[in-house]
Amino acid sequence: MAQITLRNLAHSYQPNPGSEADYALKELNHVWEDGGAYALLGASGCGKSTLLNIISGLLRPSHGRILFGDTDVTDAPTAARNIAQVFQFPVVYDTMTVRENLAFPLRNRGMDAGYIKARVDQIAAMIGMEAELSHKARGLTADAKQKISLGRGMVREDVNAILFDEPLTVIDPHMKFELRTQLKSLHREFGHTMIYVTHDQTEALTFADKVVVMHDGRVLQMGTPEELFERPAHTFVGYFIGSPGMNLFDAEISGSRAVIGGVEVALGASYGPMTGRTQIGIRPEFCGLDRDVGLPFRVRRIEDVGRHRIIRGEVMGAPVNITAPEGTEIAADATRILFAPEKINVYADGWRVAPLGEGR
């Protein structure tokens, strides 16, 4: 196993890329620590599969280097990288039995028969297919075939990393949770570096210790679920993570005050001078209603979702959400919105600005 380093990596599918827009992956530097459980999260088309295929060697990057430990593998073929990859749709040998499919990567490596049998039995138990081991893969459902693909990705213990590219797309919803739990326990047991690609924030936040958020060919932030919630590095992360996402307001920032449409809002920290478009971000969980103080708020509609209520409304014509515990009464004369000052983040041109003194 090894730490994976991406150095000045960029990729364009065009033969002669000109501007940045021609790059599916803009230049990035990134380190995947050995043994980490990562999720790579972003909307469809943001470059997740491109990045994964570059790591596994299916794709050669237009620029930059890939290192496994201290070894440069940029020009090494897929087989030499010792990586297991599971794709969105099943890749199985139809004429082989389930057992033969699962054993395939081990047979290829010349492992002994006793070990192969024991290991395949163990993996079959994880994916819940012990009863079907002697069945031919042909004729199984897409769902069962994808479980075989997952099992085959996990069967080798000696891989540098396991890459999962939206592997649960064709899996039955109730089985998804089960398999995700199995992947987590596999990670705990064997400590492989795992990178799990998904566009679903719940999947990402439940699987991973660290989530890497991508948008439009760029890595915007890598952080724990808590960091992404408390301190989104970019307004997109604030908006993409959470449901509903972070509220954003254009604001003038000076010291520990923000001014929004002429109304002053206290910040939880002090800020130095900044340039560009300045905004504050506050999550719906840290907003409340008031009668007298705060920005003018107009309630549009109230939704009851499980254990909380979402109050959807607007501030100066822009949509804003508040979440409150279930059963919260909303007074008719509550026409102001208040923010918890210490939960406010400040952004300049989309990027979070650290308050004075942070990190010291």
Task: Write down the least CB distance from residue 62 to ligand ADP, Å.
Answer: 12
Minimum CB separation of residue 45 from Mg ion in Å reads 8
Q: Is 208 in the site for ligand ADP (CB under 6 A)?
A: no
Q: Which residue in this structure is represented by tokens 């081990």?
A: 106
Q: How far apart are CA 296 and CA 121, in angstroms?
A: 63
Q: Which of 36, 42, 281, 284: binder of ligand ADP (CB under 6 A)?
A: 42
One-letter amino acid identity for 185?
A: S
Q: Is 198 one of the binding residues for Mg ion (CB under 5 A)?
A: no
Q: Which of 4, 37, 47, 228 binds ligand ADP (CB under 6 A)?
A: 47
**Binding of ligand ADP at residue 60 (CB under 6 A)?**
no
Q: How far is the CB of 360 from Mg ion (least distance, A)?
A: 40
SS (H, E, C) 21-55: HHCCEEEEEEEECCCCEEEEECCCCCCHHHHHHHH
Choice from 10, 36, 39, 49 touching ligand ADP (CB under 6 A): 49
SS3 helix, strand, coil % of the chain, rounded to 5? 30, 35, 35
Asked if 201 and 31 touch (Cβ cutoff 8 Å), the reply is no
Q: Which does 42 bind (CB under 5 to 8 A by kind): ligand ADP, Mg ion, none?
A: ligand ADP
For residue 160, state whether it binds Mg ion (rule: CB under 5 A).
no
Round to whole Å and give the CA distance between 66 and 321: 42
44 touching ligand ADP, by CB under 6 A: yes
Residue pair 162/191 in contact by the 8 Å Cβ criterion: no
The option from ligand ADP, Mg ion, none interacting with 57 (CB < 5 to 8 A, set by class) reads: none
For residue 183, how far is the Cα from the chain centroid? 16
Name the segment binding ligand ADP (CB under 6 A); options: 48-56, 61-69, 169-177, 316-324.
48-56
Among 9, 39, 46, 282, binds ligand ADP (CB under 6 A): 46
Residue 47's binding partner among ligand ADP, Mg ion, none (Cβ under 5 to 8 angstroms by kind) is ligand ADP
The residue within the footprint of Mg ion, chosen from 24, 28, 32, 49 (CB under 5 A), is: 49
Cα gap 320→297, rounded to integer Å: 9
- Minimum distance between the CB of residue 13 and ligand ADP, rounded to whole angstroms? 3
**Binding of ligand ADP by 50 (CB under 6 A):** yes
Nearest distance in Å: CB 310, ligand ADP: 28
Q: At what angle do helices 113-126 and 98-108 cross, to 10 degrees?
A: 130
Phi and psi at residue 89, to the nearest 5°: -115, 150
Q: Provide the b/e sequence for 205-242 (b: ≥16 CB within 10 Å).
A: bebbebbbbbbbbbbbbbbebeebbebbbbbbbbbbbb
Task: From 236, 221, 321, select the one nearest 279 (Cα to Cα).
Answer: 236
**Main-chain phi, psi angles of 180, to 5 degrees:** -65, -40
What is the rounded CA–CA span in Å between residue 219 and residue 241?
14
Q: Does residue 182 touch Mg ion according to CB under 5 A?
A: no
Does 134 sit near ligand ADP (CB under 6 A)?
Answer: no
**Is 147 a residue that touches ligand ADP (CB under 6 A)?**
no
Instruction: Give the Cα separation of 155 and 158 in Å (integer).
Output: 9
ω into 61 cis (within 30 of 0): no
What's the closest the beta carbon of residue 171 comes to Mg ion, in angstroms?
A: 16
Under the binding rule (CB under 6 A), the answer on residue 191 touching ligand ADP is: no
User: Which range touches Mg ion (CB under 5 A), out of 8-16, 27-35, 43-51, 289-297?
Assistant: 43-51
Could you tell me how many residues make up the chain?
Answer: 360
Verify binding: residue 245, ligand ADP, rule CB under 6 A: no
d(CA 229, CA 226): 5
Least distance (Å) between residue 22 CB and ligand ADP: 10
Site map 9..28 versus ligand ADP, x via CB under 6 A: ----x----------x----
Give the number of residues in contact with Mg ion, rule: CB under 5 A. 1
Chain contacts with Mg ion (rule: CB under 5 A):
49
Chain contacts with ligand ADP (rule: CB under 6 A):
13, 24, 42, 44-50
